Amino acid sequence: QIRKSKLLAKVFDLLTAYITIPEVSQSKSQSVKGIIPSNLFDVFQSSALVPIMESYLRNDSIIDILKFIDLYQSIFSFLRALCAHNSLVPLFLLLKNQNVSLLELVKKTN
pLDDT at 23: 55
Percent of the chain clearing pLDDT 70 (strictly above): 87
pLDDT tens digits for 40-73? 999 999 999 999 999 999 987 889 889 999 999 9
The CB density around residue 47, as the number of other CB atoms within 10 Å, is 10
pLDDT at 33: 54
DSSP 93: S
Distance from C-alpha of 93 to C-alpha of 105, rounded to nearest angstrom: 10
- Residues 48-87 as b/e (b if ≥16 CB within 10 A, e otherwise) read ebbeebbebbeeeeeeeeeebebbbebbbbbbebbeeeee
List residues bridging with 24 in a β-sheet: 32
pLDDT at 22: 66
pLDDT at 31: 46
Query: When comparing pLDDT for 28 and 15, which is higher?
Result: 15
pLDDT at 72: 95
The yes-or-no verdict on residue 27 having pLDDT over 60 is: no
Distance from C-alpha of 35 to C-alpha of 38, rounded to nearest angstrom: 9
pLDDT (mean) for 73-87: 95
